[in-house]
Structure 1
Amino acid sequence: MILKIVTFFLLFMVVMGAIQKFLFPHRRNMPDLLKRPRKCAQCGRFSIGRGKCACKS
Structure 2
Amino acid sequence: MLSSYEVITGQDIYESTLMGSKWSKLKKMDEGINSKFAEINACFSPDGNTVFCV
Structure with greater strand percent: 2
Bigger CA radius of gyration? 1
TM-score class, shorter-chain normalisation, is under 0.3
TM-score normalised according to structure 2 size: 0.19
